[in-house]
Structure 1
Amino acid sequence: MNTDKQAERPRLVLVLGGARSGKSTFAERLALQSGRQVAFIATATASDDDMRDRIARHQAARAATWQTIEEPLQLAAAVEQAARVADVLILDCMTVWLSNWLFSQEQAGQVEEDTISAQYYDGALRELDALLDVVSALEPGKTLIVVTNEVGLGIVPAYALGRVYRDVLGLVNQRIAAAASRVYLMVAGLGVDIKRLHENAEL
């Protein structure tokens, strides 16, 4: 085993894009190409028939040897668990996790942006910081691939909770991107490493 190559592997990879942009497929391809053991952390819950169908399709597309951990809320603990059984971890996805987390909070259905949204910003970012602390403590050679949506390019949501959700997810994505070694933006199934482009940008 080449330990030098192993040490060079990115510890955190972010894959983001719009709906049906190929995020999950791309993340799974990265994991397969690594040739290492993979664990899949699924944040979705079967809340309705459409979600059950989506979950079933995703499960059918995964390699049979992958271990799946279903965890809608406790991401830090899920990553620690996954790292005990695999080298490449896929977390799919932050978008669903944030929805789960917001609706688990008291008064989530009565959000007033000017009085309560800061509570959600702070709480969600604390959860994210706990996740990033776990990632930074992973053994050399372990990699976490995080899938998330870019929701800031569409129309402004018409209701308060939707606006809070969009804003908090934007902050979450920014914080993960800052910590990640690779940040792939998905466009029509194609991944572009925008972190490298950003680092090489000049005026």
Structure 2
Amino acid sequence: MSALLILGGARSGKSRYGQARIEGFAGPLTYIATAQAFDDEMAERIARHQADRGPRWRTVEAPLDLAEAIAAVRDGAVLVDCLTLWVSNLILAERDCDAAGMALCAGLADCRVPVALIANEVGLGIVPDNALARRFRDAAGWLNQRIAKTVDEVVFVAAGLPLVLKSGA
């Protein structure tokens, strides 16, 4: 595996699956976090995730500059969690999601270490009732498609069970 996209819904087990896959690699492990703690509940979630990972992991916070954060990792393996929050951050910062997605794909093509990217599949529900939510859903869906074409492997996780959509083998 050089690049893997893991898709799923909320609480599907996608992050746990991604962490287990990356922990199978030798060397240092880097967790690139896109989440931002805007409230106490999110701060608690972030702390819980950090405790679950253990001492082998180094955490890098990259709410906006994800391609650069991945490129800075020179050894070991990387877990990015998650692309969907990254899209939300880009929209709120009024950044160009398409340009950022293209930069991320270019960075993945040049990446020297194995990388797993976590993303929510947000297109399985109803059409949102407001323009911002539709813009978010569309940007997340387009990014997932772009990343899926770029990476070697794509896995969909539901109820903790992985379903391989694209195999690198």
TM-score range relative to shorter protein: over 0.9
Matching of residue 194 in structure 1 with residue 162 in structure 2: no
**Equivalents in 2 of 1:63, 1:181: separation in Å?**
27
**Equivalents in 2 of 1:135, 1:155: separation in Å?**
31
For 1:102-141, what aligned pairs fall within 5 Å after superposition? 102-105=91-94, 123-139=96-112
**Equivalents in 2 of 1:176, 1:132: separation in Å?**
6
Deviation at 1:35, TM superposition (A): 3.1
**Equivalents in 2 of 1:22, 1:36: separation in Å?**
24
**CA displacement, residues 20-59 of structure 1 (integer Å, 9 cap, x when unaligned):** 0011110000011223321010000110111111111111
Q: Please report the TM-score for the alignment, with normalisation by the length of structure 2.
A: 0.94
For 1:151-162, what aligned pairs fall within 5 Å after superposition? 151-162=122-133
Deviation at 1:63, TM superposition (A): 2.5
For 1:27-176, what aligned pairs fall within 5 Å after superposition? 27-81=18-72, 83-84=73-74, 86-105=75-94, 123-139=96-112, 142-176=113-147
Deviation at 1:87, TM superposition (A): 2.1
Instruction: Give unmatched runs, 5+ long, in structure 1.
Output: 1-9, 106-119
**Equivalents in 1 of 2:158, 2:50: separation in Å?**
23
Kindly report structure 1 stretches of 4+ aligned residues shifted beyond 6 Å.
Answer: none
Q: Which protein is richer in strand relative to its size? A: 2
For 1:177-188, what aligned pairs fall within 5 Å after superposition? 177-188=148-159
Q: Which protein is richer in helix relative to its size? A: 1
**Equivalents in 1 of 2:65, 2:138: separation in Å?**
21
CA RMSD, 1 decimal = 1.4
Q: Which has the larger radius of gyration?
A: 1
- Residue-pair matches, total: 168
Q: Please report the TM-score for the alignment, with normalisation by the length of structure 1.
A: 0.79
Secondary structure of 2:78's counterpart equals: strand
Code of the aligned partner of 1:30? R
Instruction: Give unmatched runs, 5+ long, in structure 2.
Output: none
